[in-house]
Amino acid sequence: MRATMMYTAGDVRVEDAPDAALQDPTDAVVRVVRTCICGSDLHPYHSKEDAEPAFMGHEFLGTVEEVGSEVTGLKKGDLVVAPFAYGCGSCVLCREGLPTSCPQGGFFTSAQSEAIRAPFADYNLTKLPGDVDETLLPSLLTLADVYGTGWHAAVKAGVNPSTSVTVIGDGAVGLLAVLSARQLGAEQIILMGRHQARTDLGREFGATDVVAERGEEGIEKVRELTGGLGTHTVLEAVGHMPAYEQSVGVVRPGGVISRVGVPQYDQASVGFTSLFGPNVTLTGGPAPTRSYIDDLLPGVLGGTVEPGKVFDRHIGLEETPEGYRAMDQRESLKVLVTP
């Protein structure tokens, strides 16, 4: 099969690779119908040092091609969507809704390919209606990661109709954090971002204010918009230290910073002046999107939300190197790939 491989930073190629195949009786092999490039794929695109080629991609929906002998709920031809992080489905952490911490779990790593092996298929693959309109596929694909991740940020922050919200980052996750906060009833949603095409989509998704300024100036703007106090919740969808500092700057005393941008740092200020003194809570992590698919699917199928609007470029599998380049250059917000 054809598959996207990353060599060193900036060097992405589409190559022949061994066909995806069953390994365990609980596996399925899925023919990828839609996949995409994630903002987090840009981290190795910037920093990968070793030259050992690595498969890429963790978001996919597709049709089941083959199932292992212990898979009972799926059959060849079923249209399914997967979470970017899989779990076993039966351990206590999976049952508590946290497959991202499943000891037998992991992250999908070869979705930007023609086909992919899915472990614990009965648990991880959610069946979609077979006759779903093709125009819904981009939105359905966002359930794999970016929509579920934005939702996770908002849920972990405890967003509700009485909480004000700041969203830091106008990437796909940030914009879908806006959408999620709106769905959860937030009335004031301040989007911090500076790319107008993106912040315009953020307004469409429910942002009530956009703050383009960064650093102290950005903090000042958010405080002006919130009676000097900051917002009850901050959804941080970037992962770099300035975004953390911005979060601390705009959160209201007693509020919550919910991070879903993968932190590109280890140490941060958590002492008296940053988090402790004002009783600020720091939460978040990799989203267990599997746990949210059932809740979010009806809105997507019913057309009440259209998270797939984050895709602003559609390419074929052979063009993924160009897709990486376009996202890296910020020519594209998020690239949809049809193998």
Shortest distance, position 284 Cβ to its own copies, whole Å: 7
Strand pairing category for 165-168 and 189-192: parallel
Judged by beta carbon, residue 135 or residue 265, the one nearer its own copies is 265
What the block records as the tokens of 246 is 């911005």
Judged by beta carbon, residue 259 or residue 313, the one nearer its own copies is 259
Judged by beta carbon, residue 1 or residue 91, the one nearer its own copies is 91
Judged by beta carbon, residue 16 or residue 49, the one nearer its own copies is 49
The site for its own copies (CB under 8 A) is made up of: 92-93, 96, 98, 100-101, 156, 227, 229, 253-254, 259, 262-263, 265-286, 288
Shortest distance, position 294 Cβ to its own copies, whole Å: 19
Judged by beta carbon, residue 113 or residue 163, the one nearer its own copies is 163
* Type of residue at 215: G
d(CA 39, CA 334): 8
Q: What is the dihedral of CA 269, 273, 279, 282, to 10 degrees?
A: -20
Shortest distance, position 148 Cβ to its own copies, whole Å: 13
Shortest distance, position 215 Cβ to its own copies, whole Å: 20
Judged by beta carbon, residue 115 or residue 275, the one nearer its own copies is 275
Shortest distance, position 253 Cβ to its own copies, whole Å: 3
Provide DSSP, 89-142: SSSHHHHTT-GGG-TT-EE----SBSEEEESSHHHHPEE--TT--GGGHHHHHG
What the block records as the tokens of 291 is 């746990």
Residue with tokens 């190197």: 321
What the block records as the tokens of 71 is 């898979």
Shortest distance, position 263 Cβ to its own copies, whole Å: 5
Q: Give me the sign of the Cα torsion angle 238, 236, 34, 333.
A: negative
